[in-house]
Amino acid sequence: MPTTSTSPLDLSLEKKRTAKPLLATLRGERQAVPPVWLMRQAGRYLPEYRALRAEKGGFLALATDPAAAAEVTLQPIARFGFDGAILFSDILMVPWAMGQELTFGVGEGPRLTPALIDGALAGLDAAPARLDPIYATVRRVAAALPAATTLLGFAGSPWTVATYMVAGQGSKDQEATRTLAYRDPDAFGALIDAVVAVTIDYLIGQAAAGVEAVQLFDSWAGSLSPAQFERWVVAPNAAIVAALRARAPGLPVIGFPKGAGGKLPDYARATGVDAIGLDETVDPAWADAVLPPGLPVQGNLDPLALLAGGAALDAGVDRVLGAFRERPHVFNLGHGIGQHTPVDHVERLLARVRGWTSSC
């Protein structure tokens, strides 16, 4: 893996803190009007994205073309003026760099080969240079963003990434990976440790290239029992956060353990994340009551309320804003924006959030 120096990365951002509402919020400063970005804000609901993808071909070709990936990252900023730009990439870049082959079939979703059913990494040849185009994309975006916009990087959390590595594809219940974790915890632990190490280097590489905050996506965290959640979600994410603290002090980390539900308070305290992303199933009033005081939160409008629009959208926005009026809050969805979401619904969401004040 390409790495930066072992000395801490200089991420002194004092001049940017007041000028960047999203970055300031992640550092614990409550804003009168919450900053906004949306998961999957660069994607198929945008006509400009569909046109560029048709020109470039498949997803992987697009994501590894720095000029094109930078353009995609910037498209929603140009159209909507979001407070954050999220790097256009995929969580499976890490296993691709670890030596699995990655393909995106039309209508099939991503595939990784060979599937690591036994958890063994011995047959893979690491290919860290596969991440170089991602860093190049970050540099391009960082140079082009408006001064007030925060650049967000990301990676998949180890548990979620491992579910794809073991099964070779996504699954509804992660049965193959959960079974391996029970049957051979040592082998699975070795796989998790390897993913943790590559993920740390990958996020440090993103930070060195210009990202100002990162998000850890744990899309399948909700499939685990409490004990397994502690071992395969909390512990690996805590290790990543601790390493980033040491090597990139000042880099905010957003943890997004989708489906964690009642385990969210323990996750927040044990991992040490700077902010916690909430999925749409979480009652925002409950989250505000049980999460550590002052911890920034992100979320959590149901993406289907955005798809529906109208009164349902307005009510959903107001409920989230009202629940988090007393703490630092980044307005976002509870998961990614759907591909059939009308652009004017996004415009309506932004207008409603930006018309909000904490005294409403």
Of 53, 130, 348, 354, which one is the catalytic site residue? 53
Question: Residue 40 catalytic?
Answer: yes
- In whole angstroms, what is the distance from residue 59 CA to residue 65 CA? 10
Q: At what angle do helices 185-209 and 235-247 cross, to 10 degrees?
A: 30
Q: Which helix (H) or strand (E) holds 138?
A: helix 132-144
Question: If you ran DSSP here, which 8-state letter would residue 129 be given?
Answer: G
- In whole angstroms, what is the distance from residue 79 CA to residue 76 CA? 5
Cross-strand pairs, 86: 152
Of 45, 49, 135, 164, which one is the catalytic site residue? 164
Q: What is the CA radius of gyration of the chain?
A: 19
Of 83, 90, 218, 302, which one is the catalytic site residue? 90
- In whole angstroms, what is the distance from residue 351 CA to residue 354 CA? 5
Question: Residue 90 catalytic?
Answer: yes
Question: Residue 269 catalytic?
Answer: no
- In whole angstroms, what is the distance from residue 253 CA to residue 120 CA? 29
- In whole angstroms, what is the distance from residue 131 CA to residue 138 CA? 11
Of 40, 111, 231, 327, which one is the catalytic site residue? 40
Question: What is the CB neighbour count within 10 angstroms for residue 152?
Answer: 22
Of 30, 44, 79, 139, which one is the catalytic site residue? 44
Question: Residue 274 catalytic?
Answer: no
Question: Residue 44 catalytic?
Answer: yes
Quick one: tokens of 236?
């690996």
- In whole angstroms, what is the distance from residue 353 CA to residue 49 CA? 24
Contacts of 183 (CB under 8 A, 6+ apart): none
Cross-strand pairs, 112: 102
Is there a contact between 292 and 327 (Cβ–Cβ < 8 Å)? no
Is there a contact between 153 and 203 (Cβ–Cβ < 8 Å)? yes
Neighbour order of strands in the sheet with 297-301: 84-86, 150-156, 213-218, 253-257, 275-277, 297-301, 329-333
Catalytic residues: 40, 44, 53, 90, 164
